[in-house]
């Protein structure tokens, strides 16, 4: 039924508005490197974009259909479906929309508006990692300054990997008997549960900057624990564990900038988060969760040397009021490196992108070679190499893979 509705919607939009239609078809095949290699991904994607614009407004949809393996029925995802209304110094955008903030590449600091789809970790294209949110986005323009207010009545969390997925992080639990209680994870659709985001951005000759604030829900649930056991003469013996995912309110204030200096592009981004739920082993917190604040920032630089684009970022997360019971380290440090070169009149693109975790000496290395066979037709050969034994990237050390993508844009 859902597909019929979407088809009818597309047909209606086309016949009524005669919009610009574009899109992309892609095959993505990934092979997981292990003793007996298995296909980590067999995916066909069809993206369809409708766009109807005028000086007074616009209507935009981005529909994705993902077909996996031998599945017959594709998974349909509406990334964007919104209408714009333009005035002289004021725009309204209403509907599902992807909103990207901040200056950092590949990491999320003040980029908190659109939730993420992490079912395939950080590997998909970034435009596909970002989900749309249903919101009213109001922007006021004054010269080169923009003031935006985003109000979202419906909280949409980050999509986590499903049970059994190779991207599901393993939890180190003290017992084998575990039950997941999902009764607390719903956020009812009420006005009081709305999210609000504010941004003041400016694009000036000397510097670009943005100041942001958010009163939102944490996109990732806190995992509250209920320990069930029985007392013995030697103490409490744990029999089983009930894990209750629950979303909590989170406030954030921050900003970002970028500027140029003698061929260098310098950029920075920082966010202060108030009310984050952290995991703790402190016996005073029986559900294993403690509220705290943290500071997250990035400093980055880009430079082009002999036609090779070089980008580096240092990212640090600092948990304030940290103690020894926290399961997360107080200082979490990471760097990212991107090296890019295009040759053959910009038809052959060579990239090497790496996340390097400094706390656990782990990394994700992503080399790719992409060739534009003809306009719109592109072949990409790449690899995802996880290094380390633990840490955010090292936990997936068994998931090294090579992949091929063939895409056609129209």
Asked if 300 and 103 count as a contact pair (C-beta separation under 8 A), the reply is yes
Beta bridge partners of residue 197, listed in sequence order: 150, 214
Helix (H, G, I), strand (E, B) or coil at 219: coil
CB of 349 to other proteins, least distance (A): 11
- Measured distance CA(307)–CA(168) in Å, rounded: 39
| Using rule CB under 8 A, residue 99 touches other proteins | yes
Check binding of 410 to other proteins (CB under 8 A): yes
d(CA 355, CA 388): 12
Which of 110, 139, 152, 354 binds other proteins (CB under 8 A)? It is 139
For other proteins, the binding residues in 302-361 under the rule CB under 8 A are: 302-304, 307, 342, 345-347
Based on the shown chain and the rule CB under 8 A, indicate whether residue 269 belongs to the binding site for other proteins: no
The Cα 332–Cα 342 span in angstroms is 33
CB of 51 or CB of 360, closer to other proteins: 51
**Binding range to other proteins, per CB under 8 A, among 228-236, 297-305, 321-329, 393-401:** 297-305
Least distance from other proteins to the Cβ atom of residue 103, Å: 8
369 contributes a contact to other proteins by CB under 8 A:
no
125 binds other proteins (CB under 8 A): yes
CB of 170 to other proteins, least distance (A): 32
Alpha-carbon span 77 to 64, nearest angstrom: 5
Task: State in Å, rounded, how far the first CA of the chain is from the last one.
Answer: 28
Between 11 and 204, CB nearer to other proteins: 204
The closest alpha carbon to 217, from 253, 187, 250, 184, belongs to 250
Could you tell me which of 361, 307, 360, 303 has the C-alpha nearest to residue 337? 303
Instruction: Give the span between the Cα atoms of 334 and 313, in whole angstroms.
Output: 8
> What does the binding site for other proteins look like in residue numbers (CB under 8 A)?
22, 24, 53, 58, 84, 86, 91, 98-103, 125-127, 130, 139, 141, 144, 146, 201, 203, 205, 208, 258-260, 262-265, 267, 302-304, 307, 342, 345-347, 372, 374-376, 378, 409-410
């Amino acid at each position: 039924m859902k597909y019929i509705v979407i088809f009818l919607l597309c047909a209606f939009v086309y016949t009524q508005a005669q919009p610009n239609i574009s899109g992309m078809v892609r095959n993505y095949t990934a092979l997981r490197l292990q003793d007996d290699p298995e296909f980590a991904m067999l995916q066909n994607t069809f993206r369809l974009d409708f766009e109807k614009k005028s000086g007074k407004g616009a209507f935009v949809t981005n529909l994705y259909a993902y077909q996996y393996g031998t599945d017959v029925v594709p998974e349909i995802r509406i990334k964007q479906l919104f209408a714009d209304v333009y005035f002289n110094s004021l725009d309204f955008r209403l509907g599902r929309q992807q909103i990207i903030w901040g200056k950092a590449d590949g990491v999320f600091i003040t980029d908190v508006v659109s939730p993420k789809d992490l079912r395939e970790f950080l590997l998909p294209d970034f435009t596909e990692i970002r989900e749309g949110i249903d919101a009213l986005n109001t922007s006021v323009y004054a010269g080169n300054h923009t003031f935006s207010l985003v109000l979202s009545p419906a909280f949409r969390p980050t999509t986590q990997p499903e049970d059994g997925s190779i991207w599901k992080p393993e939890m180190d639990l003290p017992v084998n008997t575990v039950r997941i209680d999902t009764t607390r994870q719903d956020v009812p659709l009420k006005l009081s549960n709305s999210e609000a985001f504010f941004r003041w951005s400016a694009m000036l000759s000397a510097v670009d900057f943005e100041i942001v604030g958010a009163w939102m829900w944490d996109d990732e649930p806190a995992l509250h624990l209920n320990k069930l056991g029985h007392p013995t003469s030697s103490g409490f013996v744990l029999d089983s564990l009930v894990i209750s995912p629950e979303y909590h309110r989170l406030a954030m204030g921050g900003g970002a900038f970028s500027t140029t200096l003698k061929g260098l592009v310098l950029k920075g981004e920082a966010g202060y988060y108030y009310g984050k739920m952290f995991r703790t082993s402190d016996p005073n917190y029986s559900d294993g969760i403690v509220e705290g604040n943290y500071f997250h920032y990035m400093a980055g630089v880009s430079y082009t040397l002999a036609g090779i684009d070089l980008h580096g970022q240092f990212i640090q997360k600092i948990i304030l009021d940290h103690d020894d019971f926290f399961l997360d380290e107080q200082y979490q440090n990471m760097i990212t490196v991107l090296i890019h070169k295009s040759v053959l009149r910009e038809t052959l693109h060579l990239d090497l992108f790496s996340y390097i975790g400094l706390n656990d000496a782990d990394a994700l290395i992503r080399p790719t070679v992409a060739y534009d066979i003809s306009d719109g037709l592109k072949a990409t050969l790449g690899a995802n190499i996880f290094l380390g034994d633990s840490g955010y990237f090292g936990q997936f050390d068994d998931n090294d893979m090579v992949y091929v993508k063939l895409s056609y844009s129209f």
